[in-house]
Amino acid sequence: MNSILDEARAALFSVWHRRWLALAVAWGVCLLGWLAVATVPNSYESKARIFVQLDDALAEQIGIGVGDRKRDIERVRQTLTSAINLEKVVRATRLGDSVVTPKQMEAKVLLLGKAVKVVSQQDNLFEISGTSTDGALSDAESAKLAQDIVQKLIDIFREENLAGGRGEMTETLEFMNQQLSDRQKQLEAAEQRRLAFEAKNPDSAAGGASLVQRMEATRAQLRGIDADLAAAQSALAAINGQIAGTPQSLAGAGGGGAKGALAQALQDLASMRARGLTDSHPDVIAAKNQVAALRQAAAAEGPGGGVPNPAYSSLTSIRAQKQADLLALQSRRASAQAELAQIGSQQTANPEVAAEAQRISRDYDVLKQQYDKLLQDREELRLRGQVETERSAVKFQVIDPPTTPRSPIAPNRPLLLLGVLIVGIGAGVAAAFAMGQLRSTFQTTQRLEKALGLPVLGAISHTLTDAGRALRAKRLKYFISASAALGAVFVLLLASEFVQRGMVA
């Protein structure tokens, strides 16, 4: 432990003995270091936050979903720092003042690409930051330049998001119009070919339909007529059944006779059945027996003996209408069968003409379907473009406008100045210590004994006269003054740095 203390005491004595060398080296290193720090330009950063709202009921109704908008905004965010957009920023700010050649522009764009960032903080929240580091500008001008860079990026973000989609939609509509024009010409040519074929072969095509299509349409019509005919026959049979159970005449007022009694018995029987009585019920059986007996008596009476039954007359009229409808359906069925037979004979007689008619009709139908589909898609795109233009689904809002930098983000000049001071002092101490190691002197008797291997009997102390002590005190004052001057220079540099920052703010 004592040896360590002796070594430390010897090192301190060596440095103190050469303190002027240490101070000179410290001054030199500090001046050079502070000069280097002063040449490093300050970097000022400006930030802004923007919010993009993506929900709109009308846009979602026509197919512009939130997912589509998110993809568009992500595409804009990724391409915002492209070379083209950064060149726009350079030309719109003071960065482009010194740009003359394309190489200079390329260099500016590369530097600006490292100085700007677009960060997605949340799904709909973005932060845009820009840094300005230009030694040719003052700190206030550099801070203003950083703010201008961010503001221009926001403008480009807005233009790319709102106007970029409109440009793409315009190009898409132009492409769709061109395709529609081409399809329209092809459709008109197919129409002319079909009309020419129909004029040359009037029996092979009717109304633009091929023989196969006409045959299929006729067969479908025949199936419909057969269904209607079966329904009409069923309805006529039901009416005939009702007429069979309805009397032609009813008993008159105040009259009697078998016919009147029969009508009354039939009404009673119908009333029983309406109440839900079955044929096995005793009352129903009795009523039926009574009706049978009265029918025989009414037949024995002969015609007359009552008034016409209105229900019977109405049912008769309905039956006549049903019979007429049935006859009309039978006539339509016969006509359809005749047309089907005619089409079949035409196919058999002219197979080549039929095939040509079918091919022309098929080509026309395909072109017509394509044209209709393109027309529908074009109208949907036009509506979508109008919604995006007049009622944009993206609501762009600047939450935090570009900030005005009040202090540089780099370099940390006070810390650098302090670091240079510490390095300068350390370099001076190291130089003095190294010089002491190079000189063959011994600071203590112990080191002398260790170096010679002989015992040291004693040491002669250094005695100064009054003049020597006065000179040493004077030199000590000079050393302290020089050291204090180094510290004062450091304090002045710090003060000037803070004053410069205050001028920017």
pLDDT over 90, % of the chain: 16
Q: Is residue 477 part of a domain?
A: yes
216 and 276, same domain (yes or no)? yes
Q: Is the pLDDT of residue 84 over 70?
A: yes
Structure tokens that stand for 190 in this block: 């197919």
Q: Is residue 155 part of a domain?
A: yes
Q: Following DSSP, what letter does each residue of 464-505 receive, concatenated?
A: --HHHHHHHHHHHHHHHHHHHHHHHHHHHHHHHHHHHHHHH-
392 and 430, same domain (yes or no)? no
Identify the band that residue 35 occupies on the pLDDT scale cut at 50, 70 and 90. Answer: very high
Q: How many domains does the chain have?
A: 3
E strand intervals along 150-223: none
362 and 479, same domain (yes or no)? no
Q: What is the pLDDT of residues 276-299, one digit of tens each?
A: 777 787 778 888 888 887 777 666
Q: Is residue 167 part of a domain?
A: yes
Model-level pTM? 0.51
Q: What is the pLDDT of residues 363-376, one digit of tens each?
A: 777 888 888 888 88
Q: Is the pLDDT of residue 227 over 70?
A: yes
Residue-level pLDDT at 215: 72
354 and 392, same domain (yes or no)? no
139 and 275, same domain (yes or no)? no
Q: Which domain holds residue 466?
A: 11-40+411-504
Q: Is the pLDDT of residue 156 over 60?
A: yes
Q: Is the pLDDT of residue 423 over 90?
A: yes
Q: Is residue 442 part of a domain?
A: yes
**CATH number of the domain to which 91 belongs:** 3.30.1890
Q: Is residue 192 part of a domain?
A: no
Q: Is residue 272 part of a domain?
A: yes
256 and 365, same domain (yes or no)? yes
Structure tokens that stand for 324 in this block: 């007429």
DSSP lists the bridge partners of residue 415 as: none
Q: What is the pLDDT of residues 203-215, one digit of tens each?
A: 554 444 556 667 7
Residue bearing the bigger pLDDT, 481 or 320 = 481
306 and 173, same domain (yes or no)? no
Average confidence (pLDDT) over 437-460: 71
272 and 126, same domain (yes or no)? no
Q: Is the pLDDT of residue 193 over 50?
A: yes
498 and 471, same domain (yes or no)? yes
Identify the band that residue 178 occupies on the pLDDT scale cut at 50, 70 and 90. Answer: confident
34 and 117, same domain (yes or no)? no
Q: Is the pLDDT of residue 165 over 90?
A: no
153 and 77, same domain (yes or no)? yes
User: Within 10 A of 338 (CB to CB), how many other CB atoms are there?
Assistant: 11
48 and 164, same domain (yes or no)? yes
Lay out the sheet containing 395-400: strands in order across: 116-120, 125-132, 44-53, 395-400
| Distance between CA atoms of residues 34 and 418, nearest Å | 9
